Amino acid sequence: MVSVKFITAITLALAATVSAAPASHGHKTPSHHQKLVHGKYFDRFMIVVLENQDYEAVVADPYFGSLAKKHHGNLLTNYLATTHPSEPNYIAMIGGSTFGNDDDSDVSYNEKSIVDILEPRGISWKEYAEDYIPGPNGDCAMDSAQSKNVYRRKHNPFISFSTVTSNPARCKNIVPGSQLAVDLKAKNLPQFMFYTPNMNNDGHDTTLAYASNWTHSFIEPLLANKDFTKDTAVLLTWDESKNYSNTDQVWSVLVGGAVKAKRNNVDNTKYNHYSILATIEKNWKLHNLGQNDANATAFKW
């Protein structure tokens, strides 16, 4: 398990952003020297995905249950995951389809993903995966597990697309989670960020309480940092429900400087994981992938 000392260290790093910044790799990402591609609702979007809990349990947690109101965001009370188990949900978020996947095995799809609609418009992206170890020269690491098994490939959807892993420049945009603090300090955050906690922090191998404590330590310093929150929307969500026999409703919240609070900080609109792509496409006027994103409901602002 990750120690409290380790979590505290990461929290302080994000809060103060004092990490040394190495040279960046891969596609250029916007910084204070570069012009953002402005969107209709937000200029940056981050997704943080946690693991395997029912909506009712999460909303009853003291921290998760109060997060939307505390940060003037919105609780999405009718948000559904796509399927079971974990991996196809992650793939759906960036690919618009599960492509028939119904397990957590290592897969590789020669299909378009969100990357293929962001890059033509010059919109930068990164996958921040905790405890991920890139291959030599920043190549995509195809291992199922790394770093004492707290990283999982199945929770890093970009690795499941050969259209990403066969491209060295794209591989360099899949980085360890610790790179987030570096990019924040350098004012070099990408415009689309997918953050994958490790197997302890996402609650998969621990508990809801552990995931709650980690989320508090991770997201609070970010939301207190004006360089991060300005024109940024953050979706905190869960990959799937714990109970396979229910509707697959998952707790999801939108927070950040770009989010406008609705009445009682609640949005009852029916959404699902495909709504992520629909929202990105609507915000930046992008083509859709021709998958389930084409008819999905975008988040309402």
- Structure tokens given for 90: 């992650």
Closest CA to 132 of 144, 118, 115, 119: 144
> At 81, which amino acid appears?
A
Q: What is the dihedral of CA 146, 160, 177, 37, to 10 degrees?
A: 170
> What is the C-alpha separation between 21 and 213, in angstroms, rounded?
27
Of 61, 116, 205, 231, the active-site residue reads 205
Sorted by sequence, the CB contacts under 8 Å of residue 132 that are 6+ apart come out as: 141, 146, 147, 151, 156, 174, 175, 176, 177, 196
Active site residue 205: yes
DSSP 109: B
Residues 260, 73 contacting (CB under 8 angstroms)? no
Measured CA distances, 269 to 80, 196, 252 (Å): 11, 26, 12
Cα distance between residue 43 and residue 29, in whole Å: 13
- Looking only at the bridges linking them, the beta strands covering 151-152 and 145-146 are antiparallel
Q: Rounded distance, CA 25 to CA 170, Å?
A: 10
Tell me which residues are annotated as active site. 205
